[in-house]
Amino acid sequence: MSVYPIADYYTVFPSPADIVDFGDGKSIFNIPASAYASNSKGQYCLVSLVDGSLDVDNQELPIIIALENVLNNGGLGVLGNFSIAAQQGSSRYHHTFNKNDVKYLIPARPSQLRVKCLTEDQAAFVLVTGYLTFKFEYLSKEAVNAMNEETDYNTF
């Protein structure tokens, strides 16, 4: 699948103001229109988590970052996970991002991302420190047309 050679990147620094549901680990990150280089790119893009780091108190399990409302599966899409890289004292843990190639199809240039944080055992986790960098890759018109042709199941 071909994508444009230039992508948009946006980094968020989670804070308590982003949290919409403490009990379920949900946050909303608002993305200003100025974060995107152009509004003339395609209607859809592939979003991925490309970098991040978390320093967390009292969280000794790996942390999962998932995106809500992805088009690929109609629900929650795991973008990646953070494993423990170091421990400071008895209760402070540094989690580092484990790079991967997971990408989800979403409408292009979203004004916000709805993210859910979980621990490895699927317990909700509230994210209030560190940073997350998202990448938005736009599909070319040719790629969209080719995908439409490949998935056209008309009978003969």
pLDDT per position as a tens digit, 27-85: 999 999 999 987 777 788 889 999 998 877 777 788 888 998 776 555 778 898 888 77
Question: pLDDT at position 51, please?
Answer: 92
Q: Do 109 and 136 contact (CB within 8 A), yes or no?
A: yes
Instruction: Show the DSSP H helices in the chain as ranges.
Output: 141-150
CA separation for the pair 63, 122 (Å, rounded): 9
68 versus 94: the higher-pLDDT residue is 68
CA separation for the pair 117, 64 (Å, rounded): 6
CA separation for the pair 39, 86 (Å, rounded): 41
Residue the block writes with tokens 């490309």:
50
Report pTM. Answer: 0.82
Say how many CA atoms lie within 13 Å of 18 toward its Cβ.
Answer: 22
CA separation for the pair 52, 100 (Å, rounded): 12
Q: Nearest-CA neighbor of 107 among 41, 151, 14?
A: 41
101 versus 149: the higher-pLDDT residue is 101
Q: Do 71 and 104 contact (CB within 8 A), yes or no?
A: yes
* Residue 145 confidence class, pLDDT cut points 50, 70, 90: confident
Segments making up each domain of the chain, as ranges: 8-150
Q: Which CATH number fits domain 8-150: 2.30.30, 2.60.120, 3.30.70, 3.30.1370?
A: 2.60.120
Question: pLDDT at position 7, please?
Answer: 87
Q: Do 71 and 123 contact (CB within 8 A), yes or no?
A: no
CA separation for the pair 144, 17 (Å, rounded): 37
